[in-house]
Amino acid sequence: MGPLDELRVRLAEGADLRHAAGVLGWDQRVTMPSRGTEARAEQLATLGRIAHERFVDDEVGRLLDACEPLVEKLPYDSDDRSLVRVTRRDWEKARRVPTKLRTEMTREAARGHHAWVEARRTSDFASFLPYLRRNLELRRQYVDCFEWSDSPYTPLLDDFEPGMQTTEVREVFAVLRPALTEIVASAPEVDASFLTGNFPPEKQRELGERMLATLGFEEETWRLDRTAHPFCTSFSNRDVRLTTRYQPDDLESIWSSLHEAGHGLYAHGNADSLTRSSLSGAPSLGVNESQSRTWENLVGRSRPFWEHWYKPLQETFPSLDSVELDDFVRAINRAEPGLIRVDADETTYSLHIILRFELEQELLEGAVALEDLPDVWNARMKEFLGVDVPDDARGVLQDVHWSGGALGYFPTYALGNVISLQFWRVVREALPDLDAQLAAGDPLPLSDWLRDNLYALGRKLTPKETIERLAGSPTIDPEPYLAYLREKSAALAV
Amino acid sequence: MGPLDELRVRLAEGADLRHAAGVLGWDQRVTMPSRGTEARAEQLATLGRIAHERFVDDEVGRLLDACEPLVEKLPYDSDDRSLVRVTRRDWEKARRVPTKLRTEMTREAARGHHAWVEARRTSDFASFLPYLRRNLELRRQYVDCFEWSDSPYTPLLDDFEPGMQTTEVREVFAVLRPALTEIVASAPEVDASFLTGNFPPEKQRELGERMLATLGFEEETWRLDRTAHPFCTSFSNRDVRLTTRYQPDDLESIWSSLHEAGHGLYAHGNADSLTRSSLSGAPSLGVNESQSRTWENLVGRSRPFWEHWYKPLQETFPSLDSVELDDFVRAINRAEPGLIRVDADETTYSLHIILRFELEQELLEGAVALEDLPDVWNARMKEFLGVDVPDDARGVLQDVHWSGGALGYFPTYALGNVISLQFWRVVREALPDLDAQLAAGDPLPLSDWLRDNLYALGRKLTPKETIERLAGSPTIDPEPYLAYLREKSAALAV
């Protein structure tokens, strides 16, 4: 066995362990009896530790050294050259963090999570404060394991958006914030009262599954289950798990399911040759999120999509019989500032994110005292979105991320929105008949194109290389996103 | 960290890997989209290989050497002394089989399984023959890794029934066979026509879950799912997974669920101190099966149990309104020879097993030519059960076990029947009011007693030590089982 084969075997083993942990995580969130939690945490810790130990082994470095000359003549995006290049980056990054710190972070994240669940329930920020402090301190130690030039925030961002500098995000957000604020300020009032009503979950499920089945998944490669906090995971490109939740009085499950289906189509579209390697997945959370947003919003809130699906929807829920298609489409595209990020519409969503991005940097640098965080949060919510925060549960405690010290994650959501429109412009050029296809209930040309041009690449290219390959430039450009929102806002006012 | 702690940490890690594989196996059989199969096989192979490699490591032997003097003064059944003793046995056994042979056996078992699925579908024994031959050959090589005195079958039996000699099983079966044949021959005709009818699966499920909830599981520690071939697995004593299947025209799901619940109560009753160690579980398949049989048959087919549950059953399925309780109990206790093992009643079941036990020894010793197997099978079925086998699908190809070369497994089913009655005699002495308790819908005194006296022990004692502790003698004694069947048969004739 040559060094390349040896490397492949090692990475396949790592992929197996990672996917095994994925199955345990899915089970924990979808099916596990709650008292299985303690044992499950140990099982996940063991899988994670073994995978990490085996990956950061010196032998992987020796194999990489031996492989590099073997692949340097291959095309840049060939499987083998990509495997060696991406693994080199993963390996060097993984080795920088001492096992002791990594273990400590995992433990404190779990403790922080428990404390947060209780603190949010009782809206008691003070009880959460010591855990937040400890996790933040560990995150600072983590940052110290890396070199950075522009901001200590960059190593954290890099975990989710490899190669991205904090300054680049700042530049994008500096354009977004005033523009979004303006769009929101001029957003017309839209009647959406009919979106609240009696929508039996079982019927939502049936219709939702019918929709998802048309998007491009091959048969017997996916499933949709119910969970408290929807997510998508996959254990190979032929085993994709979507989850959603059904509220009996609204239709949000439709867009939540389409969102997760976007992530799922990405995983499903990974080339077979990337199976059991470190190249499966997406280059970054932002690029991955661009696709969940594409299917949730650019497809799932578009008029053509609903030209096909509105009739089945009305047949399923007769209370919509008296609502015109145009009024329905306006309602699902309205912009309305609110308290809760996960409930936010497409336009205000990014404002929630920019607020968190700024706060995260200030927290990391110590510019905001932790005990002042609720007050600062509430003032910023008023400033950014014009809303008054009634309590910390609906304010600074609303999100799970900080409970485990996961700084750097939030910006990827807004970047996903921005990137989705950069790609969408290219998609529309490549598929001139897209609207007619969607109106005919056929999104396959779209999903095929995205699979062939994006999903199949997996993690072969960096986020920027991926964006450059599709959009022609590696720059994150907010203009297409803003143009889309402005156009949509103008259409609403009609 | 002393050697005992070091050993505990290593074994905890092994338990985590084993239980992680358990989750992957459960998911594969209950929820996985079918095209996830290939990746799942790789994930399971990787987990199995890593767990095995880490367990057979020389360091485990050094730790055991260091631990033995530390525990020798402790009580025989203390956690620590049991851990060292049981691990020593597991370790020495695991090291005897070369990794190459183990890998080959796993691979050929998977290939054999595929071939068997197809062969059974088309009732084509000839297509399965080369796979059976190959698996049998590997099983002979496996036997050669061990020392044995009475029969080459003993090392295979030992995998499932540690410490059991083939000659001991032969002695038990030599008593069973003529006695069972006599009981079957004199079995009265019983009307069971009302057990075939219209029994909507959803209603079976609701009633079944209500029953299971009374048996002694703590809340949020178990769940019941549907699958094609019912099984039970667990990932800790607080995460027990039961499965069953519902046929719309019969009520077999009730006893299938009670059967798996018996396995589940065993796992649930393991002492907390055995969590994440090599001591969780049951001492053998036979002892484990004794408990599935206890709950399925000794409880689930008893008149007292149905004194409580017959009314809810009638309320669920009104077609039983005209059927008297006594007639129902007679019907679910009838003995009737048939072709298929898994459909067999309590009495004829063990005859199916004895047939297989004899054939397995002959196959291993080469006393039966493989190409003659279908003919031999059919002749034996006529001899043992008086039935004519119409095709190999309902004959020699009916069971999955041989497809993967799993010889030595079948006898444990019949041993389970036998042991269940040895324990039951003791249980009835300890719980004089058991019938009244069951009739009142309260099986908790029974499940508490079994938990405290049996399930809590896990794998601390060998099967024989376990039987001796409960029944007073280590001998497998078929008499209580036969007395029970004779008494039941006599009651049916009334």
What are the residues of chain B with a beta carbon less than 8 Å away from any beta carbon of chain A? 12-13, 16-17, 19-21, 23-24, 26-27, 31-36, 38-40, 42-43, 45-47, 50, 218-223, 225, 235-236, 238-240, 275-276
Three-state SS for B186?
A: coil
A228 confidence band (pLDDT: 50, 70, 90): confident
Judge whether B142 and B148 are in contact, CB under 8 Å. Answer: no
Share of chain A above pLDDT 70, in %: 100
Q: Name the stretches of chain B with pLDDT < 70.
A: 494
How many angstroms separate the CA atoms of A244 and A256, rounded?
Answer: 6
pLDDT of residue B110: 85
- Give the mean pLDDT of A416-437: 98
Contact residues, chain A, for B280 at CB < 8 Å: none
Contact residues, chain B, for A33 at CB < 8 Å: 220-223, 238-240
- Give the mean pLDDT of A459-484: 97
C-alpha distance from B305 to closest chain A C-alpha (Å): 27
Contact residues, chain B, for A12 at CB < 8 Å: 42, 46
Judge whether A455 and A268 are in contact, CB under 8 Å. Answer: yes
**ipTM topping 0.90:** yes
* pLDDT at position A103 over 90: no
pLDDT of residue A107: 84
pLDDT of residue A411: 97
pLDDT single digits (tens) A291-329 = 999 999 999 999 999 999 999 999 999 999 999 999 999
How many angstroms separate the CA atoms of A407 and A356, rounded?
Answer: 9
pTM of the model: 0.94
pLDDT of residue B198: 96
User: Are A220 and B13 a contacting pair at CB < 8 A?
Assistant: no
Note if A260 is an active site residue.
yes
In three state form, how does the secondary structure of chain A look? CCHHHHHHHHHHHHHHHHHHHHHHHHHHHHCCCHHHHHHHHHHHHHHHHHHHHHHCCHHHHHHHHHHHHHHCCCCCCCHHHHHHHHHHHHHHHHHHCCHHHHHHHHHHHHHHHHHHHHHHHHCCHHHHHHHHHHHHHHHHHHHCCCCCCCCCCHHHHHHHCCCCCHHHHHHHHHHHHHHHHHHHHCCCCCCCHHHCCCCCHHHHHHHHHHHHHCCCCCCCCEEEEECCCCCEEEEECCEEEEEECCCCCCCHHHHHHHHHHHHHHHHHHCCHHHCCCCCCCCCCHHHHHHHHHHHHHHHCCCHHHHHHHHHHHHHHCHHHCCCCHHHHHHHCCCCCCCCCHHHCCHHHHHHHHHHHHHHHHHHHHCCCCHHHHHHHHHHHHHHHHCCCCCCHHHCCCCCCHHHHCCCCCCHHHHHHHHHHHHHHHHHHHHCCCHHHHHHCCCCHHHHHHHHHHCHHHCCCCCHHHHHHHHHCCCCCCCHHHHHHHHHHHHHHHC
Annotated catalytic residue within A108, A161, A260, A360: A260
C-alpha distance from A236 to closest chain B C-alpha (Å): 6
The b-or-e profile of A378-414 (16+ CB within 10 A means b, else e) is bebbeebbebebebbbbbbbbbeebbbbbbbbbbbbb
Task: Quickly list H helices, B369-443.
Answer: 373-385, 411-430, 434-439
How many angstroms separate the CA atoms of A294 and A264, rounded?
Answer: 12
How many angstroms separate the CA atoms of A217 and A269, rounded?
Answer: 9
How many angstroms separate the CA atoms of B367 and B360, rounded?
Answer: 10
Instruction: Give the position of tokens 């495997």.
Output: A83
Cβ-Cβ pairs closer than 8 A, A with B, add up to 121
Domains belonging to chain B, first-starting first, are 3-146 (no CATH), 147-494 (1.10.1370.30)
User: Are A43 and B33 a contacting pair at CB < 8 A?
Assistant: no
Instruction: Give the position of tokens 């769009």.
Output: A183
- Give the mean pLDDT of A463-488: 97
Judge whether A477 and A418 are in contact, CB under 8 Å. Answer: yes
* pLDDT at position A17 over 80: yes
pLDDT single digits (tens) A106-128 = 889 988 988 999 999 999 999 99
Residue type, A439: A
User: Are A39 and B238 a contacting pair at CB < 8 A?
Assistant: yes
Give me the DSSP letters along B434-487.
HHHHHHTT--HHHHHHHHHHTGGGTTSS-HHHHHHHHHSSSS---HHHHHHHHH
